[in-house]
Amino acid sequence: MEKAIKKYWPVFVLPTLAAFLIGFIWPFIWGIGLSFCKFTTVKNVEFVGLSNYLNVWKDATFLHAFGFTTVFTIVSTVLINVLAFLLAMLLTRHMRGTNVFRTVFFMPNLIGGVVLGYIWQILLNGVLSLLEKPLLSLNATYGFWGIVILMCWQQIGYMMIIYIAGLQNVPPDLIEAARIDGASNSQILFKIKIPMVMPSITICTFLTLTNSFKLYDQNLSLTNGEPAKATQMLALNITDTFYARSGAQWKGIGQAKAVVFFLAVIALALVQLRFTRSKEVQA
Amino acid sequence: MENSAKTKRVNAVLSVLLGVLCVAWLYPVALILFNSFKTERAITTTRVFELPTAQTFVGLQNYIYGVTSMDFLRSFWYSLFISVSSVFLILLCCSMTAWYITRVKGALSSVMYYLCVFSMVVPFQMVMFTLAKTADTLQLNNPYNICIIYLGFGAGLAVFMFTGFMKSMPLEIEEAAMIDGCNPLQIFFKVVCPILKPTMISTAILETMWVWNDYLLPTLVLDIKKFRTIPMAIQYFRGSYGKVEMAPMMACIMITVLPVIIMYLFCQKYIIEGVVAGAVKG
């Protein structure tokens, strides 16, 4: 049978492969190539070696964005996962209204990033002006927490769903046995439930880490990096370097930044997967 | 259980607390909803929390103005067409590729598989400039062809989800079909596709959520003066210079959000299953 299918590869694989070449592989390779060049359009490309990569580290806005994104990623990943896990614990207690709660908490996930940003901009600016504080676009601290709150609102529901599925797969007899042996509730949580849902924790931290690190839409619409690029995250900084800065050198530097960004995402993903995978157990 | 009465009481208290939290969770959307019925003057940052009153209520005026001034229906059509065509293409092509990858062992299969996994982690900024140029050269820069770009960039997740499911699919049914004289195409469409249905739905939902809400890819690939999807229209409306008209913008946000929420209420079972199925990746 394998041979028969193999003969049909132009039908089964070629369309996807062709689109994949156009939409991903070729732009990716070309992008790496362009990161070593100075260019404004694709027609006047001049090879400059590693100078783009050196200039990346001289750009203070990029370094700031790197730091800002890192802090944001850590804060939001921890908050989202802890809160989502707590909610999942509550929603697996067989209480009234569980389905309604689950539906409501998941809902923000369906709203797109740009729209989400504007909804929260309106709400947070309203709250800030009631408290007679500066608006979001004038204060970087409020901007930071604004994005954190927004991300929590959007992502908690999604992660909660995954945690609920994980918790429901913990065999009840395991918990029963522990209880008969005299384990307390917190012992059951830390010694049985958390190790048993480790695969869900791996997925959820992976998703929240990469989502937060690659965040663009929400950042653009909520603060657009204001004030003075203080709340600009990496993805926005790179797009900004490409399309909003004048000067012939910036596109090349932008592409080099994108390569650095890509390597950072890969490194982050690999480290995280290795770390949480090592904590997974078999039932 | 001796403590079941206590558990019941705790659950009742928790239910009430979570109910309050739910109301708070829905409040941001409700805020936009009632503001979209107010006059422009009543939506300053200090008055945004006031409910519409007899003086400030304007009915559907903001909706009518927003839809007409932004050419919103056209944006809606573009978004709808792009989402439907892209997701259809992704489901069809990626399920076929995934079947090939699972059933045929060889260099082509493993290269495709690892490339797909790899593409899921690569940030869009890495390819955005060159992708937009490629799309221009190949005339894929309009809403009717952009689905090919989406197939290329979205193939990773879809192939991954399909192969994940197919690994556990029994080979015997397909072999029986082959002995009965089916060619691989017939086997795929008559035998494999029906078995794949649940995964198809899950993948369709995840991909639709992505394509419908995507902002940066269509902004860079499409010509913003000619074609605007809904996220582009909202950003253009807000980001353009000059005075921002808050009331029509809120009306437009509501028109964008409501269909999605209504659809969610009807097929939330599938959406939630889709999320769980998608989480098995990684």
Residue B261 lies in a domain: no
B123 and B221 share a domain? yes
**ipTM for the complex?**
0.84
pLDDT at A207 over 60: yes
The number of folded domains in chain B is 2
B99 and B236 share a domain? yes
Residue B177 lies in a domain: yes
Residue B274 lies in a domain: no
B94 and B50 share a domain? no
Give pLDDT tens digits along chain B (282 positions).
Answer: 446 788 888 888 888 888 999 998 999 998 888 888 888 777 777 777 777 777 777 778 888 887 887 788 888 899 999 999 999 999 999 999 999 998 888 888 898 888 888 888 888 888 888 888 888 888 888 888 889 999 988 888 889 888 888 888 888 888 888 888 888 889 899 888 998 888 888 888 888 888 988 888 998 888 877 888 888 888 877 765 556 677 888 888 888 888 888 888 888 888 888 788 777 654
Assess B59–A contact: CB distance below 8 Å, yes or no: no
Closest approach of A116 to chain B, Cα-based (Å): 9
B147 and B220 share a domain? yes
B37 and B149 share a domain? no
Residue B279 lies in a domain: no
Residue B254 lies in a domain: no
| CB < 8 Å from A in window 245-264 of B | 246, 249-250, 253, 256-257, 260-261, 264
Residue B186 lies in a domain: yes
B227 and B90 share a domain? yes
B109 and B47 share a domain? no
Closest approach of B50 to chain A, Cα-based (Å): 11
| CB < 8 Å from B in window 57-86 of A | none
Expressed as residue numbers, the domain containing B20 is: 4-62
Residue B145 lies in a domain: yes
B192 and B98 share a domain? yes
CATH number for the domain harbouring residue B116: 1.10.3720.10
Tens of pLDDT along A70-81?
999 999 999 999
B54 and B138 share a domain? no
Residue B273 lies in a domain: no
**Chain B interface disruption, residue of A6, A7, A20, most B CBs within 10 A:** A20
| CB < 8 Å from B in window 34-53 of A | 34, 42
Task: Point out the residue among A1, A7, A30 whose CB comes nearest to the CB of B130.
Answer: A30
Domains annotated for chain A, with CATH where assigned, are: 2-49 (no CATH), 53-277 (1.10.3720.10)
Closest approach of A33 to chain B, Cα-based (Å): 10
- pLDDT number for residue A118: 87
Tens of pLDDT along A88-105?
999 988 888 888 898 899
B210 and B119 share a domain? yes
B137 and B11 share a domain? no
B118 and B16 share a domain? no
Tens of pLDDT along A208-240?
998 899 999 888 888 887 787 888 898 999 888
Assess B134–A contact: CB distance below 8 Å, yes or no: yes
Give the 3-state DSSP-derived string for chain B, with helices as H, strands as E and coil as C.
CCCHHHHHHHHHHHHHHHHHHHHHHHHHHHHHHHHCCECHHHHCCCCCCCCCCCCCECCCHHHHHHHHHHCHHHHHHHHHHHHHHHHHHHHHHHHHHHHHHHHCCCHHHHHHHHHHHHHHHCCHHHCHHHHHHHHHHCCCCCCCCCHHHHHHHHHHHHHHHHHHHHCCCCHHHHHHHHHCCCCHHHHHHHHHHHHHHHHHHHHHHHHHHHHHHCCHHHHHHCCCCCCCCHHHHHHHHHHCCCCCCHHHHHHHHHHHHHHHHHHHHHCHHHHHHHHHHHCCCC
The pLDDT confidence band at residue A12, using thresholds 50, 70 and 90, is confident
